[in-house]
Amino acid sequence: MQGFLDDVCKTLDCSAINPGGSCYEPNILRSHTSFVLNLNYRKTNLCPQDIGTYAATDPSYGNCIYP
């Protein structure tokens, strides 16, 4: 998952999962990957099946709003 985050965040704005960002907490790889999977899906319309799955409900929580 970390490799996926590193690759995607080279080209997409991942500031929301950085310290101080609206989706930084909880500071766990799974939560950050979920947010970035959504960003990547919005750009490519693809979901890497080895680390992600499609969600039928909005995963936004608190101040963390998924685009």
pLDDT tens sequence across 6-21? 999 999 999 999 999 9
Confidence at residue 49, expressed as pLDDT on a 0 to 100 scale? 77
Q: Where are the domains of the chain?
A: 2-44
Q: Which helix (H) or strand (E) holds 27?
A: none
Picking from 47, 25, 50, the residue whose alpha carbon sits closest to that of residue 36 is: 47
What 8-state DSSP symbol labels residue 60? -
pLDDT tens sequence across 48-67? 878 888 888 999 999 999 98
pTM of the model: 0.88
Both tokens of 43, joined, read 């750009």
Picking from 35, 37, 67, 66, the residue whose alpha carbon sits closest to that of residue 50 is: 37
What distance in Å separates the CA atoms of residue 63 and residue 7, rounded to the nearest whole number?
A: 25
